[in-house]
Structure 1
Amino acid sequence: MNATKVVPWMVVAVALGCVGASLLTPAKIRGFDLDGFGRIPVLEGGRVKPIDSVARNSLLVIRGQQSFQHLGRTVGPDEWLLDVMLRPDVAEKQSVFVIDDPEVLGLLGLQQTSSRYFSFKTLAPHLDEVQRQASAAHDIDAKQRTRFQGAIVTLFQRIYLYYRLQNTLQMPGTSGLDSELESIATPEAGQRHEQLAELAAFRPLPPPAGASADAWRSVGEALGAARSGMMDPALESLARLASAYDENDLEAFNRAVVAISEVAASRRPDSLGQADSERLFNRAQPFYAGMVIYVLALLTLFASWLWKRSVLEPTAFALLVAGALIHTAGLVTRIFLQGRPPVTNLYSSAVFVGWTAVVLGIALERIYRKGFGTAVAAASGFASLIVAHHLMGDGDTMEMMRAVLDSNFWLATHVITITIGYGGTFLAGALAIGYTLRRHLSRRPDSTNSRTLVSMTYGVICFSLFFSFVGTVLGGIWADQSWGRFWGWDPKENGALLIVLWNAVILHARWGGYVREKGIMAMAIFGNVITSLSWFGVNMLGVGLHSYGFMDSAFRALAGFIGSQLVLIAICLLPAHFWRQRAVAAVKTTSQPV
């Protein structure tokens, strides 16, 4: 049996099987049916989603992670949300609030230790001071705030989100939702219901069949309607669920979960199906799985340069293809869940840029078969998904579209086309970085492979120029239809134009003989700088029609990336084996007799 053919296919099967296994549910429910609870659809942030997404996004905002350790065991997002809403005394002891700023810690009288996480119970005595400081800082423009002011505003937002979650199903300190139903006619009840309606973080009660799709109600709103004699059966099921969880009654809790799901299925079967799909998407975490597989592909390729190249190099390519398939599945699922093209915000643009680079890298590898395409594709895919991961801090990555962007036609043409241009330009830069490292690290000069890398980079730049140019023109047409002008020198427009011009400059410099191998590759690396400024720099400026929020936290990362690219450009322009020649010269100098 030929190992060079069998092993890669076996690796692909194992990689895909591991991801598929995460979608399986246990045949028998043991304990609370957290999986069933997580599938319950709710309305939050303008869209219907599973309660699991609310839990994950909220915990991600508050803690920066989707699970945590407490009392020696892992607490998942759904269990945490249940504790926050129905067992506040338990949740308040869980260390979920992340605080990094030393001045904020000093304000709260907390010591800076190895742990950055603190419980609500620890913060509770200082809530008034946090609110006072945050109110003072809130009036200051985000770009003008000090580090302390930005940190205190962020902490207050996390605390307020936690407080809203606490007051979604029932108010902390009360006897519970079932007692609320029993005392629904008391004079004090109306005020509590209004407060619950105002603070609710999401709406769990689906509208009846035939009602407006966004007519979901919060518990407070449903309690107000019940005072008028219109009791919602789903509200009673929620009350049973709350009581069962508080009393640790597993069977009653699981029956209540089934009853709530049945109500949703009878009223909004489409919402239940979509929520179930999103729950599976959350559990599979395809982009995290893609990151892992891209790293494995890269490590396998590196190993192939030292041992068993005939087996390991095809295996690395097979892993890359497996990662691309999982990456693609994640993209397609997001398209289905949103009902939108793949790029709708910065997070999705990072995912799509990486996907573009991976697909182009696979195509290059199939054409040249030298391992270079596998290397840059795996590295680019991993890097882009890492960037996407760090853009998840706001929680929901499938939020509702802004009105000016709410056009599937232009999202599918201008935005997709120009993002493909981003991906291609970054891939060209990655190839140039590989060329640079190879020139200075390889033991023997290899002009053939160097020319191959230059040829690959040239082809990718041509590809990028086409899509960047078409995307920029389409953007101007969209602007003319939306704002009545084709071009307005908006920062994002200028950034898009710079990408087009820079790619054109590289091609003209090559055709005119102004630059040779090193020059082309150095210019390709600088393309990374221009593209990153157009992609992220506009949002950091906080001005222009395309800026939707000041990204102060990303400034250092962008500055570090640009600095690294400038260093790589300098290294690229040095003579081949510059460092080794310097070392040899130093040895000769020290060995000469004095």
Structure 2
Amino acid sequence: MKKRLPLLFLLLGLALVARSLLPERNKTDFDLAAFGRLPVVVNGRVKPLDTVARTALVVLQSSQSISAPDETKLTPNEWLLDVLFRSSRADAYQHFEINHPDLLAIFSLTPADGRAKRRFSFRQLEPKIDELQRQARLAEPVEAAIRTPFQKAVAQLYANLGLYIRLKASMVAPDHQDFLSELLTYQKNVTAGIAAVRAKEAGQPYDAALAAQMMESGGRFSRMGELAYLLAVPPSDGESNTTGWKKVGESLLDSFPTGQINPAIMVYAGLARTWKADQPKEFNEILRLYRAQLERNFPQSLVKCDAEARYNSAQPFYTAMILYVLAFLIAVTSWLVWPDELGRAAFWLLGIAWVLATAGLLARMWLEGRPPVTNLYSSALFVGWIAVGFCLALEYIYRNAIGSVAGGLVGFATLLIGYYLSLGGDTLEMMRAVLDSNFWLATHVVTVTAGYGATFLAGFLALIYIFRGVFTKSLDKATADALSRMIYGIVCFAALFSLVGTILGGIWADQSWGRFWGWDPKENGALMIVIWNAIYLHARWGGLAKQRGLAVLAVFGNVITAWSWFGVNMLGVGLHSYGFMDSAFPWLLAFAGSQLLCIAIGSIPLAMWRSFRA
């Protein structure tokens, strides 16, 4: 039986991957998947409505899961449809996350009033929005880095409410009863109505009712144009006009001279009517016809939107995270029983997870048209990918489960970091100006990030050396020698790539900012990694430290790399200050503290290590 374990675990891993790749089924008669694939523009990027729904939910409540007040589970696309077209129902959904008690007090709410004691609805918050706005204005002049926890909570909730209100105004007027009928009436009367308005301005006889109707419509369209979050109206000249997308309100204002409403707006009004009236057949037919129209003018955008929606549904990095945990647990177990069978099973699971993560990275690269590292989120993915790739190579060579343990641990940790980074919104965001160069993204950024990943891996291998030596009797001479060689090889790679990546960064800085080096915090952090790896190598080559001392040095490399990767962003200064996350600072301190504790453990006399006791 135990001989079949590797095959069984391999089939389990493949089954998990296959399950994640199955297309999402529509749980109702409405073609929600087709709606989620419709393209819109947000923050300069064409993306499917499925991405809009998922990222909005993550921003509002740190999760893509949402339920109606009657506990009915909703898909992100169902939630977005209600927000866009049936806001009176969406206003009752509890999707605003509030954790600060003083902020709840503004709304006269307690945790017991919310879902899971932290999520509240727009309807619960609406009566006291004016007070929230007053508090937000008080917090606005204060720099983000020095705001109190209450001020940060106020600013975040105010921004989230703004996002929700803007979404509601993106496709139809939020207070509409039947926007389609309103538009048809407007289109019928617009020519005569404009004439009535002009006659009024000229002091001539005019139709007062028509003039009032046009003024009211103009005011409503203007408010929609100011509030809307989505650029949902595509340009008439197709994909060649990358900046021609408009908000619905703006496009309606443009229709006054001609009286012709863009067909996309009529589509959204039709979808709103059929969604509210629970008419799935008509809803699906409108989608089909609109999709056919888009395929003629926006074929490439639709292909990418379809692929991005499938990528969202598959969640490859979530499945990879599960596989990394399984590989880690099985590899650790292999040190206790059945080392050959379980070691091979862990290796195969780690390989499946890495291949899946590779597919996820390639999908992101194709969707963005960029190299793999474009922001902090993608850097976490790439650091883990590099580290696990090395672990697979080490395990293939040494076959002692150490590579699988380290790979599972590092892979899970980096994807967990990536998950928390994704809570900020769209992870495929448009490039910051300083990074907007494919050549330097493919050279400097990728190279220096590979150095990060290798330095972290060396540190985690050193942790395995220390913990196996101190707490178990399994660190025999052969294992200790193998771990020492692994750490040394990885540090050599890390030193080379960190050095080359830092030099390439200096060349890029010279071209972009006119100086090779400016002692910017990010530059200093990269230099610290190079210097620390050089210290390790000199200590080994000069015989200044033995295996235990070198392991301790490698562990401190985790602290250096974490500070250089994340810490410098939290300073809020320098040309490289992007991705600021003050909430991560306690976690950074906790990680550094844990590594210092491990160094202290590794520094106790060898006579007290279980593996070295007489």
TM-score norm. by structure 2 comes to 0.91
- 1:102: which partner in 2? 101
How far apart, CA to CA, are the structure 2 residues paired with 1:220 and 1:95? 28
How far apart, CA to CA, are the structure 1 residues paired with 2:230 and 2:468? 54
Task: Using the TM superposition, name which of 318-327 and 76-85 deviates more.
Answer: 76-85
How far apart, CA to CA, are the structure 1 residues paired with 2:503 and 2:316? 33
Contact between 2:218 and 2:253, CA under 8 Å: does it hold in 1? Answer: yes
2:249 equivalent among 205, 220, 227: 220
Task: Using the TM superposition, name which of 301-310 and 435-444 deviates more.
Answer: 301-310
SS at 2:29 equivalent: coil
Q: By how many angstroms is 1:444 displaced?
A: 5.2
- 1:481: which partner in 2? 511
Q: In the alignment, residue 32 of structure 1 is paired with which amino acid?
A: F
- 1:37: which partner in 2? 35
SS at 1:391 equivalent: helix
Q: Deviations over 1:209-238 (max 9, x none)?
A: 455122112211232233322332222222
Contact between 1:238 and 1:260, CA under 8 Å: does it hold in 2? Answer: no
How far apart, CA to CA, are the structure 2 residues paired with 1:342 and 1:351? 9
Task: Using the TM superposition, name which of 467-476 and 451-460 deviates more.
Answer: 451-460
- 2:408: which partner in 1? 378
Matched, 1:322 2:352: yes
Q: By how many angstroms is 1:513 displaced?
A: 1.4
Q: Deviations over 1:269-295 (max 9, x none)?
A: 110110000000000001111100100
Q: By how many angstroms is 1:9 displaced?
A: 4.8
How far apart, CA to CA, are the structure 1 residues paired with 2:538 and 2:178? 72
- 2:232: which partner in 1? 204
SS at 1:342 equivalent: coil
How far apart, CA to CA, are the structure 2 residues paired with 1:24 and 1:514? 56
Matched, 1:277 2:307: yes
Q: By how many angstroms is 1:577 displaced?
A: 6.9
How far apart, CA to CA, are the structure 1 residues paired with 2:442 and 2:556? 28
- 1:590: which partner in 2? none
Q: By how many angstroms is 1:471 displaced?
A: 0.2
Distance 1:391 1:444, change over 3 A: closer
Q: By how many angstroms is 1:526 displaced?
A: 0.4
2:20 equivalent among 10, 14, 22: 22
- 1:520: which partner in 2? 550
How far apart, CA to CA, are the structure 2 residues paired with 1:404 and 1:447? 49
SS at 2:233 equivalent: coil
SS at 2:177 equivalent: coil
Contact between 2:24 and 2:33, CA under 8 Å: does it hold in 1? Answer: no
- 1:168: which partner in 2? 170
Task: Using the TM superposition, name which of 279-288 and 6-15 deviates more.
Answer: 6-15
Contact between 1:376 and 1:431, CA under 8 Å: does it hold in 2? Answer: yes
- 2:80: which partner in 1? 81
- 1:588: which partner in 2? none
How far apart, CA to CA, are the structure 1 residues paired with 2:133 and 2:250? 27
Distance 1:576 1:72, change over 3 A: farther
Q: In the alignment, residue 44 of structure 1 is paired with which amino acid?
A: V
Matched, 1:158 2:165: no
SS at 2:111 equivalent: coil
Q: Deviations over 1:343-386 (max 9, x none)?
A: 00000000000000000100111111111011101110000000
SS at 2:489 equivalent: helix
- 2:541: which partner in 1? 511
Distance 1:123 1:469, change over 3 A: same
Q: Deviations over 1:63-112 (max 9, x none)?
A: 11011233223212111111111111211111100001121112222113
Matched, 1:357 2:387: yes
- 2:589: which partner in 1? 559
How far apart, CA to CA, are the structure 2 residues paired with 1:183 and 1:224? 15
Q: CA RMSD in A?
A: 1.9
How far apart, CA to CA, are the structure 2 residues paired with 1:27 and 1:448? 53
Q: Deviations over 1:119-141 (max 9, x none)?
A: 11111111001111011101111
Distance 1:141 1:445, change over 3 A: closer
- 2:61: which partner in 1? 63
Distance 1:579 1:119, change over 3 A: farther
Q: What number of residue pairs does the alignment pair up? A: 580
Q: In the alignment, residue 291 of structure 2 is paired with which amino acid?
A: S
Q: In the alignment, residue 212 of structure 1 is paired with which amino acid?
A: N
How far apart, CA to CA, are the structure 1 residues paired with 2:367 and 2:333? 39
Q: Deviations over 1:297-320 (max 9, x none)?
A: 111112323333332111110000
Contact between 1:9 and 1:318, CA under 8 Å: does it hold in 2? Answer: no
Matched, 1:134 2:136: yes
Contact between 1:440 and 1:577, CA under 8 Å: does it hold in 2? Answer: no
> Identity of paired residues, percent?
48
How far apart, CA to CA, are the structure 1 residues paired with 2:575 and 2:275? 48
Structure 1 stretches lacking a partner, 5+ long: 585-594
Q: By how many angstroms is 1:143 displaced?
A: 1.3
- 2:184: which partner in 1? 182
Q: By how many angstroms is 1:27 displaced?
A: 8.2
Contact between 1:417 and 1:471, CA under 8 Å: does it hold in 2? Answer: yes
